[in-house]
Amino acid sequence: MRQNFVGMVVGNAMQKTVKVKVVREKLHPVVLKTIKSHKNYLAHDENQLCSLGDVVRIEACRPLSKHKSFTVAEIVRSGKA
């Protein structure tokens, strides 16, 4: 089973590559508050269909470059709507 994340596209200035921001919520063990943390992943977008604000599902694949080892599996929700 491949690693999957759902995140928002925050950058598409590169060719066939998008930057996806994945937000995680974790419960603090002592204070019992939820803490938000995020990480940006570079993902391969072969047909350049993603635009800013899109919510996408990314899936792990073999390393495509030094920093890119995910590919866009599907566009969950468009940013324009």
pLDDT tens digits for range 19-63: 999 999 999 999 999 999 999 999 999 999 999 999 999 999 999
User: What pLDDT shows up at residue 51?
Assistant: 94
How far is Cα 28 from Cα 10, in angstroms, rounded to an integer?
27
pLDDT for 79: 80
Burial (CB count within 10 angstroms: exposed 0-12, middle 13-18, buried 19+), residue 72: buried
Whole-angstrom distance between the N-terminal and C-terminal Cα of the chain?
31
pLDDT of 81 above 70 = no
- What local confidence, expressed as pLDDT, does residue 2 receive? 87
What's the confidence (pLDDT) of residue 80? Answer: 73
Helix (H, G, I), strand (E, B) or coil at 67: coil
